[in-house]
Structure 1
Amino acid sequence: MTERVLQKLVEMRGIETHYVDAWGNPATIAESSKTKLLNVLGYNTEDEAVISEQIEEEMHSIWLSPLNPVQVIRQNEAIILFIRLPISVVNDSYTLAVEMEDGERHHQIFTPVEGELINVAHVDDEEFHEYAVELTHHFPLGYHTVSLIQENNDSPLASMRLIVAPKACFTPKPIEDGKKIWGLSVQLYCLRSENNWGIGDFSDLTKLIKEAADHGADFVGLNPIHALYPSNPDACSPYGPSSRRWLNFLYLDVSAIDGYDSERVQKIVNAAGFKERLQHVRSVDYVDYQSVADLKLEALKAVFEEYYSRHLSKNTKQNKAFKAFVEEGGESLDMLAVYDAMQAHLKESGHAYWGWPVFPDEYKEYHKPAVAKFRKAHLKDVKFYLFLQWQAALQLEKASKVADDSGMLIGLYRDLAVGVSEGSAEIWGNKDLYCVDASVGAPPDILGPLGQNWGLPPMDPIKLYEQQYQPIIDLFSSNMASSGALRIDHVMALLRLWWVVKGDNAKDGGYVYYPVDDLLGILALESHRNQSLVIGEDLGTVPDEIRTKLAENGVYSYRVFFFEQAEDGGFFSPSHYPVQSMSTLTTHDMPTLIGYWHCLDLELGKELGLYPTQEILQKLYQDRHDNKQAILDSLHGHNSIDASVGRDVNFTGMTEALNFGIQVHMAKGSSALLSLQLEDWLQMDKPVNIPGTFKEYPNWRRKLTQTVEDIFDNTSIQSLAANLTQARKQAED
């Protein structure tokens, strides 16, 4: 009996029972995993009576809510609302008042009993009816508010959000008409330049955009540039941010901010010690995050003081613009600034500070009274962090404008991480939304044979629904700002996420489902509002259901050359890739072309102990050998490389001819978009990130081997860019 009741709760909460793994085999989630997942969702599963009581309470809560919190419908679809009322009042007259986003109002009078009765229930001995009522007016795209008003009663009984979304995401007209484009992908922190402070910045990005555009590129893709931790800069993974809505201040070009030229700032940056430290961070091959942060914060605080005295303490146009930015950012922006100020204060005071879990109890949540008092007492510190976000947004916007002015079709494309880290400001500001006793990850797959645990607490899908999807709306909107495309990391999260309970092995997790159709509708709406093409990173364990839905909703698939293999081991020709896709050779979780060809990733993995047995490693070596031979066969078969490149893998190393030949081979393909890594242009061998490692390898730190200024002076690279542009034009025919 208990098992049956538990299963009902499992189904109610969208916990998957069976799935197909990355190798196409059926897999089952353990009973113990289901129970643990229910526990982290807040359920007591030890007693059958308690379980039944919890189910009943949830059902009663729904019936006592006359309207759902939110409803997403597609443009030109019938709008059917579901209204729940006690039977004693279903003969009364009601008004559905719709306030559209632009302020226009529409009213519809109805009597529930005249509608379609679709459900009946009893709550506390009272009978409730649920009716389906169709709105007779068609509403434009956007976010509207529906209120249910009973006759002779001015106060609404309930209200809900009505979201009207387009059928599919935005695609630029030239791409719709068959244009094939290429661009570069880069981890922004990797960029070297003559002037940056040891880490790539928005001015470097502007230079890269201009050069790339001049050589035929139509976009520059970025790693996530989300806000990290100013007081804990070594927590540097772009995929484990503090907030996904805001930006990493380390990407600021300090010298480009008004006030940098002041005497007080110049005194700091021209001091011998400062110059020596600056030279160090510029010269090292890996980003020294702590030293970079120390330098930038020292200078930025002086710049802020100057800017404050010049502009923010007076009624200037700059102050008005700053206040407008802060007002538009709302609670989310204030929360991040307070969090950053508090973390800095705790660090300076010698307290534990890595994240809110170790903050003093009175500071463990943004909405606590003590936090409001802290904010008031440290108002200027908070304003400093607000200022950093403002300046970062302005510099990113400037880079995006350069892309537009340079004629790029897409311009910048940004990357949305799948979650935030446990100690993040985003969780600190919305504790109800996140299940902090679980983490997002992946079941065993090709990239991670032991499964993966990413340390990112998942959103509770029910809480997300109850919050009218506002957190998701904010994420999509903010990450489409100052860009022409958005790549969604692990896009399967729109359908389901692999949850791993704290303390468990990644392979012992389970899938929890999300309202995919609603989320895709919101994505489509924000895509059109921001004129942003959407790319979904659909690698790993990908159910057919999500691939189909993504395609129907105008989301571009993400096709990696090394994974596009037939059952016989041969590699599919890029001419067979879906048109609605972005193709690429490698990703941030994979080796570079040289690293792949020379098995440097396998050697490194062996040194780091990533392979449980010698047999597994040997199998990987054999598979790599076979794959490389299949690649050579495919390249020669398509005349993508000349006779200077050997046909036998046993005697063919990675050369410039092979490297560039593979890239041009991809450019001949049918994908609308082709993304190439700067590391492969520079023929680098070290990877950006090794999945499954933490301190064993300097992830997210390795810089490029050449400066932005030097890259495009290379005649071989100029020739490669020209060949890519030509191949893309030929692919349009």
Structure 2
Amino acid sequence: MDNSSYDGLRQSAIAAGIGLNFYNAYGHLQEISEESLSKLLAALDTDAAHKIDKDRLLDPVYVTYQGDEQHYTIRNADLFKWELRLEDGTLKANGQQDWPSLHFPSDLPLGYHTLTLTKLSGTPTEKETRIIVAPKRCFEPKALQEHKRLWGACVQLYTLRSENNWGVGDFGDLKQLVRKVSEKGGAYVGLNPLHSLFPANPASASPYAPSSRRWLNVIYIDVTAVEDYQNSDEAQTWFKRQDIQNRLQMARNTEYVDYSLAQELKLEALEIAYKQFKQRPQTDLLHTQFAEFVQKGGDSLYQQAAFDALHSKLAEHDKMQWGWPVWDKSYSDFHSPAVTEYCKQNADKVNFYLWLQWIAAAQLEACYQESQSLEMPIGIYRDLAVGVGEGGAEIWGDKDLYCLGASVGAPPDVLGPQGQNWGLPPMHPAVMFDRAYQPFIDLLRANMASCGALRMDHVMGLLRLWWIPYSQTADKGAYVHFNVDHFLAILALESQRHQCMLIGEDLGTVPPEIVEKLKNSAVYSYKVVYFENANNHFFAPYDYIQQAIATITTHDLPTLRGYWEKNDFDLGRSLGVYKDEGVLHHLSEDRDWKKQGMLDALHQHGCLPHDYQRDAKQVQMDATLNRAVHQFIAQSKTALIGLQPEDWLDMSSPVNIPGTSEEYPNWRRKLTHSIEEIFAQQNVSDLLNLVNHHRNS
């Protein structure tokens, strides 16, 4: 490529928001190749992008903060009339003029308002512009405003064992866990993403690669709590059958979640319960509530139910029908005549999946209401994944919103030498802007329901995401930038409206320009003890920032025992994650230094007995060391800490190994003990009493 062509390519990339370089994990400035720039520009060159109206009088959306005066310059109009209506429909102001500017005072209320402009000269045109007026900070619970230091339990819901569940943790288990954590003084239960997955393909189990982020994973339904299951004689007869009891026992006893078996059992039972529901008179209260839920869910909900119903039909004949990209072309788009005809002919099947979403939403809400009745300061904290799977319902129904020629991931770093390609097509930034951010608003509203806090996975995605051209490796990507100020303003508005605080997962390479923005917006940072060190010197508990949650580990990292014993490196070697023995040796040596630094910090801050061994190479993970790490994090200045039951139980195997798919049973490993057993253990009670003591001191 000659210099003029290359310069043109670079200018096009800059205009599209593609970064020409970035600082890698080693602090070196790395240039993006011409090939990557070209392929990402091609990914952004979609039909939907071409349809965006470039000749508007105003942009489709303007975002401002409450109290700020607003000035708008009109483009390409000699004479126009205008009207500003507030979100509640009230006419705020209107007029007709020929000068190219509009000015509004600073007293506009919070909300989404509509400015309508009508061009009167030439060909008359009318366009609407959304004016978003936001607060400057997200919601913070009263307890945090009072500078209380809270703790909670962070769990992967599917890992829970109980005496009553059907082989996978469910909303019944969640309600029980909420009660148990509250009894022990906890402020919340933190969860993995609850997004809808693929009922017809249970093996696709990653909560971070969902079918849709707006609807729920129906495998979490507690079947025994469904009223029409309880009232169905057929369901009770089915449940008592010996073959069903055998399958239930098998599902409960497995070390790893058998999603196929659990899903099969639940759908069998719920189909019977649905038959009972349909026998209710149309005037029945539950029928009314269901109808209201469906109406409120609108096209997005119907699209999800249609996808699940059609997928179940196609998968009956071919288990390889994992998603719409491999379906018959006539079914590959929600809006196609064939899909419309299928839904018409199979209305009851679609209705069944609508009903499942209603049941799931009601049960999750019941869990949250339980936490509120117990006066937990936060109650439930949910998790929002960074994207959706390529073959799922969300993209199937709205392909214009996504760039299917790319996927998001992470560039190579020390812990992931190959980088990560998550296989999640990104939203098109120009299309999102053209829609006045409505898809983002809808996403937040869905995920701020039934909770007091929302964790945003990979919160740096508000500023930039690592885009990888389709079918390329992660090192061939580049950062694509977004309007972070707009996103943060909308976050603050929806957060205040839902009384839901925000936690941003800001691990990894964090651009300095977003750190202060997140802080000023009251988005809480995410601190992991393993990483809170410099030159192997671990930061003191009083050096942690207040506006944060601190955890010992996460779902992508080893458990406390796994970290200390370096099990993650052994697993990584055996699974092919670390292909370079030199790199692995360096990481192992670095871990030894960090273990020594952690041990020194535990001694320095009074978390270990004076006579406890001081040479990390001579120390094995034991109950004393486990308690010391929990005491250390409990002493931290952070407003929140999140504790994992895996560490209470001294478990060593991780729930997920990044960079693997089939090599390791990710998202399946259960806890070793049931909820009932965990909270009956004296050592767990003693540990949580220790945490309470230091959180309250």
Please indicate, yes or no, whether the TM-score normalized by the shorter chain is above 0.5.
yes
**2:32 is the counterpart of 1:29:** yes
Pairwise CA distance, 1:137: 6.5
Q: Find the counterpart in structure 1 of residue 95 from structure 2.
A: 109
Select the residue among 265, 280, 304 that pairs with 2:274.
Answer: 304
Shift in alpha-carbon separation, 1:669–1:97, aligned structure 2, 3 A:
same
Deviation at 1:649, TM superposition (A): 1.0
The answer to which of 461-470 and 170-179 deviates more is 170-179
- Equivalent of residue 202 in structure 1, options 161, 168, 171: 171
Which of 530, 536, 556 is the equivalent residue of 1:562?
A: 530
SS in 2 for 1:319: helix
Give the one of 661, 672, 676 matched to 1:705. 672
Partners of 2:112 and 2:195 in 1: how far apart? 26
Aligned equivalents of 1:171, 1:100: Cα separation in 2: 26
CA distance in 2, matches of 1:267, 1:153: 74
In the aligned structure 2, how far is the partner of 1:352 from the partner of 1:276? 28
The reply on whether 1:17 has 2:8 as its aligned counterpart is no
Using the TM superposition, give the Cα deviation of residue 156 of structure 1 relative to its aligned residue in structure 2, in angstroms. 6.3
Q: Is 1:220 the equivalent of 2:162?
A: no
- Contact map agreement 1:22 1:445 (CA 8 A) in 2: yes
Is the 8 Å Cα contact of residues 46 and 403 (structure 2) preserved in structure 1?
Answer: no
User: Do 1:95 and 1:107's aligned partners in 2 also have CA atoms closer than 8 Å?
Assistant: no
Does structure 1 retain, via aligned residues, the 8 Å contact 2:417–2:578?
A: no
1:663 is paired with a residue whose SS is helix
* 8 A Cα contact 1:645 1:652, kept in partner: no
Among 129, 147, 150, the alignment partner of 1:181 is: 150
Q: 2:227 aligns with which of 258, 265, 289?
A: 258
State the shift of 1:143 in Å.
Answer: 1.3
- Which shows bigger deviation, 31-40 or 180-189? 31-40
Matches within 5 A, 1:275-286: 275-286=245-256
Letter in 2 for 1:272: Q
Q: 5 Å matches for 1:222-621?
A: 222-261=191-230, 262-311=232-281, 314-350=282-318, 353-566=321-534, 568-621=535-588
Aligned to 2:210, what secondary structure does the other structure show? coil
Q: Is the 8 A contact 2:66 2:106 kept in 1?
A: no
Q: 1:98 aligns with which of 64, 80, 84?
A: 84
The one-letter code of the counterpart of 1:625 is D
Counterpart amino acid of residue 241 in structure 1: P
Instruction: Report the AA paired with residue 637 of structure 2.
Output: S
Residue in structure 2 matched with residue 51 of structure 1 by the alignment: none
Distance 2:163 2:6 in 1: 65
Given the superposition, is the C-alpha separation of residues 379 and 82 from structure 1 closer, same or farther in structure 2, using an over 3 Å criterion?
Answer: farther
TM-score (norm 1): 0.92
Q: In the alignment, is the contact (CA less than 8 A) between 1:68 and 1:82 conserved in 2?
A: no
Residue type of the partner of 2:24? D
Does the 8 A contact of 1:605 with 1:611 survive in 2? yes
Output the CA distance in 1 between the equivalents of 2:217 and 2:611.
Answer: 45
Letter in structure 2 aligned against 1:298: E
Which residue type is aligned with residue 622 of structure 1?
E
Cα distance, 1:153 vs. partner?
12
Distance 2:218 2:636 in 1: 38
- Of 104-113 and 276-285, more deviation after overlay is shown by 104-113
User: What residue is the counterpart of 1:82 in the other structure?
Assistant: 73
In structure 1, how many angstroms separate the alpha carbons of the residues matched to 2:551 and 2:33? 36
8 Å Cα contact 1:497/1:511 also seen in 2: yes
CA displacement at 1:110 relative to structure 2: 4.5
Q: For 2:489 and 2:263, how far apart are their aligned partners in 1?
A: 39
Q: Which runs of 5+ in 1 are unaligned?
A: 45-53, 114-130
Q: Report the AA paired with residue 542 of structure 1.
A: V
Query: Which of 298-307 and 608-617 deviates more?
Result: 608-617
1:637 and 1:9 map into 2 onto residues whose CA distance is: 55
**Given the alignment of the two structures, is residue 73 of structure 1 paired with residue 64 of structure 2, yes or no?**
yes
Count, aligned residues: 693
Alignment of 1:722 onto 2:686: no
CA distance in 1, matches of 2:73, 2:484: 20
1:41-92: per-residue Cα shift (whole Å, max 9, x none)? 1279xxxxxxxxx99x89x942x21221111111111222232224xxx1x3
Instruction: Provide the C-alpha distance between the structure 2 equivalents of 1:379 and 1:190, rounded to a whole number of angstroms.
Output: 34
**Which stretch shifts more, 176-185 or 258-267?**
258-267
Name the CA distance, whole Å, in 2 between partners of 1:450 and 1:308.
52
TM-score (norm 2): 0.97
Moved more, 186-195 or 400-409: 400-409
Question: Can you list the C-alpha shifts for 1:461-518, whole angstroms capped at 9, x where unaligned?
Answer: 0011112111110111111100000000000000000001122110110000111111
Q: 1:210 to 1:641 in 2, by over 3 A?
A: same
Contact residue 157 and residue 174 of structure 2 kept, 8 A: yes
Q: Counterparts of 1:275 and 1:173 in 2: how far apart (Å)?
A: 47
Identity, in percent, stands at 45
Deviations 1:320-340 (A, max 9, x none): 111110111111101000000
Once residues 299 and 366 of structure 1 are traced to their aligned partners in structure 2, the CA distance between those partners, rounded to angstroms, is: 28
**3-state secondary structure, aligned to 1:538:** coil
Q: String of CA shifts for 1:184-240, please: whole Å, max 9, x gaps.
A: 100000000000000000010001010101101001100001000000001000000
Deviation at residue 350 of structure 1 after TM alignment = 4.0
Cα distance change on mapping 1:707 and 1:43 into 2, 3 Å: closer
Q: Which amino acid aligns with 2:490?
A: I
